[in-house]
Amino acid sequence: MLTKKQHELIRFIHQRLEDTGVSPSFEEMKEALDLKSKSGVHRLISALEERGFIRRLPNRARALEVLKQPEDALPASARSAANDAVSRATAAPTKVAAPANDVIEIPLHGRIAAGMPIEALEGQSSLPVPAALLGPGEHYALEVSGDSMIEAGIFDGDFALIRRTDVARDGEIVVALVDDEEATLKFLHKDGAMIRLDPANASYEPQVYQSGRVKVQGKLAGLLRRYH
Protein backbone atom coordinates (compact mmCIF):
# COMPACT_ATOMS: atom_id res chain seq x y z
CA MET A 1 0.00 0.00 0.00
CA LEU A 2 1.35 3.41 -0.94
CA THR A 3 1.77 6.27 1.50
CA LYS A 4 -0.20 9.48 1.22
CA LYS A 5 2.78 11.36 -0.25
CA GLN A 6 3.43 8.59 -2.77
CA HIS A 7 -0.21 8.84 -3.88
CA GLU A 8 0.08 12.61 -4.19
CA LEU A 9 3.28 12.37 -6.21
CA ILE A 10 2.09 9.78 -8.72
CA ARG A 11 -1.13 11.74 -9.32
CA PHE A 12 0.85 14.96 -9.80
CA ILE A 13 3.24 13.33 -12.29
CA HIS A 14 0.34 11.75 -14.18
CA GLN A 15 -1.59 15.03 -14.35
CA ARG A 16 1.45 16.98 -15.56
CA LEU A 17 2.14 14.41 -18.27
CA GLU A 18 -1.51 14.58 -19.34
CA ASP A 19 -1.44 18.39 -19.49
CA THR A 20 1.99 19.10 -20.98
CA GLY A 21 3.58 15.81 -22.05
CA VAL A 22 6.64 16.70 -19.95
CA SER A 23 7.56 15.29 -16.55
CA PRO A 24 7.64 17.84 -13.73
CA SER A 25 11.04 18.87 -12.38
CA PHE A 26 12.22 17.86 -8.92
CA GLU A 27 11.69 21.46 -7.78
CA GLU A 28 8.09 21.43 -9.04
CA MET A 29 7.42 18.10 -7.32
CA LYS A 30 8.97 19.38 -4.10
CA GLU A 31 6.73 22.46 -4.10
CA ALA A 32 3.59 20.54 -5.09
CA LEU A 33 3.99 18.11 -2.19
CA ASP A 34 5.25 20.76 0.24
CA LEU A 35 8.48 18.88 0.92
CA LYS A 36 11.56 20.44 2.45
CA SER A 37 14.15 19.06 0.02
CA LYS A 38 14.59 17.39 -3.35
CA SER A 39 16.08 14.36 -1.65
CA GLY A 40 12.59 13.64 -0.30
CA VAL A 41 11.29 13.64 -3.88
CA HIS A 42 14.06 11.26 -4.92
CA ARG A 43 13.12 8.82 -2.16
CA LEU A 44 9.45 8.91 -3.19
CA ILE A 45 10.31 8.35 -6.86
CA SER A 46 12.63 5.46 -5.97
CA ALA A 47 9.89 3.83 -3.88
CA LEU A 48 7.33 4.18 -6.68
CA GLU A 49 9.82 2.83 -9.22
CA GLU A 50 10.68 -0.18 -7.06
CA ARG A 51 6.96 -0.99 -6.72
CA GLY A 52 6.35 -0.76 -10.46
CA PHE A 53 4.16 2.35 -10.53
CA ILE A 54 6.55 4.51 -12.56
CA ARG A 55 9.76 4.12 -14.51
CA ARG A 56 12.52 6.43 -15.62
CA LEU A 57 13.11 6.57 -19.36
CA PRO A 58 16.78 6.00 -20.26
CA ASN A 59 19.07 8.85 -21.35
CA ARG A 60 16.58 11.53 -20.35
CA ALA A 61 17.05 13.06 -16.89
CA ARG A 62 13.48 14.31 -16.44
CA ALA A 63 11.56 11.62 -18.30
CA LEU A 64 9.16 9.65 -16.11
CA GLU A 65 6.42 7.29 -17.25
CA VAL A 66 3.44 6.30 -15.13
CA LEU A 67 2.93 2.55 -15.56
CA LYS A 68 -0.10 2.19 -13.29
CA GLN A 69 -2.08 4.18 -10.77
CA PRO A 70 -3.25 3.05 -7.31
CA GLU A 71 -6.61 4.84 -7.55
CA ASP A 72 -8.65 1.86 -6.46
CA ALA A 73 -6.61 1.45 -3.28
CA LEU A 74 -6.63 5.14 -2.38
CA PRO A 75 -8.65 6.00 0.73
CA ALA A 76 -11.05 8.93 0.39
CA SER A 77 -9.04 11.15 2.74
CA ALA A 78 -5.77 10.49 0.93
CA ARG A 79 -7.49 10.90 -2.45
CA SER A 80 -8.77 14.31 -1.37
CA ALA A 81 -5.28 15.35 -0.24
CA ALA A 82 -3.80 14.13 -3.51
CA ASN A 83 -6.37 16.08 -5.48
CA ASP A 84 -5.50 19.18 -3.45
CA ALA A 85 -1.81 18.75 -4.25
CA VAL A 86 -2.54 18.44 -7.96
CA SER A 87 -4.87 21.44 -7.85
CA ARG A 88 -2.27 23.61 -6.09
CA ALA A 89 0.39 22.71 -8.59
CA THR A 90 -1.74 23.09 -11.69
CA ALA A 91 -3.47 26.30 -10.61
CA ALA A 92 -0.34 28.31 -11.33
CA PRO A 93 0.40 29.27 -14.96
CA THR A 94 2.20 26.53 -16.84
CA LYS A 95 5.90 27.28 -17.14
CA VAL A 96 8.19 26.38 -20.00
CA ALA A 97 9.99 23.16 -19.14
CA ALA A 98 13.36 23.80 -17.51
CA PRO A 99 16.55 22.05 -18.63
CA ALA A 100 17.10 18.54 -17.33
CA ASN A 101 19.37 19.64 -14.50
CA ASP A 102 17.73 18.40 -11.32
CA VAL A 103 20.26 17.94 -8.56
CA ILE A 104 19.88 16.22 -5.21
CA GLU A 105 22.13 16.11 -2.14
CA ILE A 106 23.44 12.75 -0.96
CA PRO A 107 25.62 12.09 2.11
CA LEU A 108 29.37 12.33 1.53
CA HIS A 109 31.19 9.98 3.93
CA GLY A 110 34.88 10.90 3.91
CA ARG A 111 37.53 9.16 1.79
CA ILE A 112 37.81 5.50 0.84
CA ALA A 113 40.93 3.68 -0.29
CA ALA A 114 41.22 2.31 -3.78
CA GLY A 115 44.55 0.91 -2.53
CA MET A 116 45.06 -0.51 0.94
CA PRO A 117 42.07 -0.32 3.29
CA ILE A 118 41.63 2.88 5.31
CA GLU A 119 39.16 3.90 7.97
CA ALA A 120 35.85 4.68 6.26
CA LEU A 121 32.78 6.78 6.86
CA GLU A 122 34.65 9.58 8.64
CA GLY A 123 32.21 12.36 9.48
CA GLN A 124 29.48 13.42 7.10
CA SER A 125 28.79 16.25 4.69
CA SER A 126 26.82 16.21 1.43
CA LEU A 127 27.51 16.14 -2.29
CA PRO A 128 25.22 17.56 -5.02
CA VAL A 129 24.62 14.89 -7.67
CA PRO A 130 22.59 15.03 -10.91
CA ALA A 131 19.47 12.97 -10.27
CA ALA A 132 19.90 11.22 -13.62
CA LEU A 133 23.01 9.43 -12.28
CA LEU A 134 21.10 7.72 -9.49
CA GLY A 135 18.69 4.85 -9.88
CA PRO A 136 16.31 3.50 -7.25
CA GLY A 137 17.47 2.97 -3.69
CA GLU A 138 19.44 4.90 -1.08
CA HIS A 139 22.82 6.33 -2.08
CA TYR A 140 25.87 7.93 -0.53
CA ALA A 141 29.20 9.17 -1.88
CA LEU A 142 32.83 8.48 -1.00
CA GLU A 143 35.90 10.32 -2.21
CA VAL A 144 38.40 7.88 -3.72
CA SER A 145 41.94 7.82 -2.34
CA GLY A 146 44.59 5.80 -4.19
CA ASP A 147 45.15 4.27 -7.59
CA SER A 148 44.45 0.55 -7.30
CA MET A 149 41.23 0.80 -9.38
CA ILE A 150 42.60 2.88 -12.26
CA GLU A 151 42.21 0.06 -14.79
CA ALA A 152 38.47 0.16 -14.01
CA GLY A 153 38.45 3.91 -14.72
CA ILE A 154 38.37 4.94 -11.04
CA PHE A 155 41.01 7.53 -10.15
CA ASP A 156 42.31 9.27 -7.05
CA GLY A 157 40.00 12.18 -6.21
CA ASP A 158 36.94 10.75 -7.97
CA PHE A 159 33.66 10.61 -6.08
CA ALA A 160 32.24 7.08 -5.99
CA LEU A 161 28.43 7.05 -5.91
CA ILE A 162 27.41 4.04 -3.84
CA ARG A 163 24.02 2.35 -3.69
CA ARG A 164 23.54 1.14 -0.12
CA THR A 165 23.17 -2.65 0.06
CA ASP A 166 24.61 -5.54 2.05
CA VAL A 167 24.57 -8.04 -0.81
CA ALA A 168 26.46 -8.16 -4.10
CA ARG A 169 27.23 -10.61 -6.89
CA ASP A 170 30.64 -11.95 -7.83
CA GLY A 171 32.58 -9.47 -9.94
CA GLU A 172 30.77 -6.33 -8.77
CA ILE A 173 32.68 -3.33 -7.43
CA VAL A 174 31.73 -2.91 -3.79
CA VAL A 175 32.53 -0.98 -0.65
CA ALA A 176 33.86 -3.76 1.58
CA LEU A 177 34.17 -3.16 5.31
CA VAL A 178 36.94 -5.28 6.87
CA ASP A 179 36.87 -6.10 10.59
CA ASP A 180 34.18 -3.43 11.13
CA GLU A 181 36.72 -0.62 10.91
CA GLU A 182 38.44 -0.41 7.53
CA ALA A 183 36.85 -0.07 4.13
CA THR A 184 38.05 -0.37 0.57
CA LEU A 185 36.64 -0.17 -2.95
CA LYS A 186 37.33 -3.38 -4.83
CA PHE A 187 35.97 -6.13 -7.08
CA LEU A 188 34.25 -8.75 -4.93
CA HIS A 189 34.90 -12.46 -5.41
CA LYS A 190 33.62 -15.26 -3.16
CA ASP A 191 35.56 -18.51 -2.81
CA GLY A 192 33.93 -20.82 -0.29
CA ALA A 193 34.66 -19.51 3.19
CA MET A 194 36.98 -16.84 1.81
CA ILE A 195 36.41 -13.41 0.27
CA ARG A 196 38.88 -12.01 -2.26
CA LEU A 197 38.94 -8.28 -2.91
CA ASP A 198 40.60 -7.67 -6.26
CA PRO A 199 42.21 -4.37 -7.36
CA ALA A 200 42.21 -3.12 -10.95
CA ASN A 201 45.90 -2.30 -11.06
CA ALA A 202 48.62 -4.87 -11.73
CA SER A 203 50.85 -3.19 -9.14
CA TYR A 204 48.57 -4.34 -6.30
CA GLU A 205 47.90 -7.80 -4.88
CA PRO A 206 44.40 -9.13 -4.11
CA GLN A 207 43.31 -8.99 -0.48
CA VAL A 208 41.98 -12.30 0.92
CA TYR A 209 39.95 -12.58 4.12
CA GLN A 210 37.74 -15.03 5.96
CA SER A 211 34.17 -14.27 4.86
CA GLY A 212 33.14 -13.36 8.41
CA ARG A 213 35.61 -10.47 8.41
CA VAL A 214 34.09 -8.73 5.39
CA LYS A 215 30.76 -6.92 5.14
CA VAL A 216 29.41 -5.36 1.95
CA GLN A 217 28.39 -1.75 2.63
CA GLY A 218 27.23 -0.90 -0.89
CA LYS A 219 28.06 -1.28 -4.55
CA LEU A 220 29.28 1.18 -7.13
CA ALA A 221 26.47 2.97 -8.97
CA GLY A 222 28.41 5.76 -10.68
CA LEU A 223 31.30 8.21 -10.58
CA LEU A 224 31.72 11.96 -10.45
CA ARG A 225 34.99 13.57 -11.50
CA ARG A 226 36.12 17.15 -11.14
CA TYR A 227 38.55 18.61 -13.65
CA HIS A 228 40.84 21.37 -12.42
Residues involved in catalysis = 148, 186
21-46: b or e for each residue (b if 16 or more CB lie within 10 Å)? Answer: eebbbbebbbbbbebeebbbbbbbbb
User: Residue 163 in contact with residue 157, Cβ under 8 Å?
Assistant: no
Q: Whole-angstrom Cα distance, residue 181 to residue 9?
A: 40
Q: What does the alpha-carbon distance between residue 4 and residue 39 come to, in Å, rounded to a whole number?
A: 17
Buried residues in 156-192 as b, exposed as e (16+ CB within 10 A): eebbbbbbebeebeeeebbbbbbeeeebbbbbbeeee
Cβ 120 vs Cβ 175: under 8 Å? yes
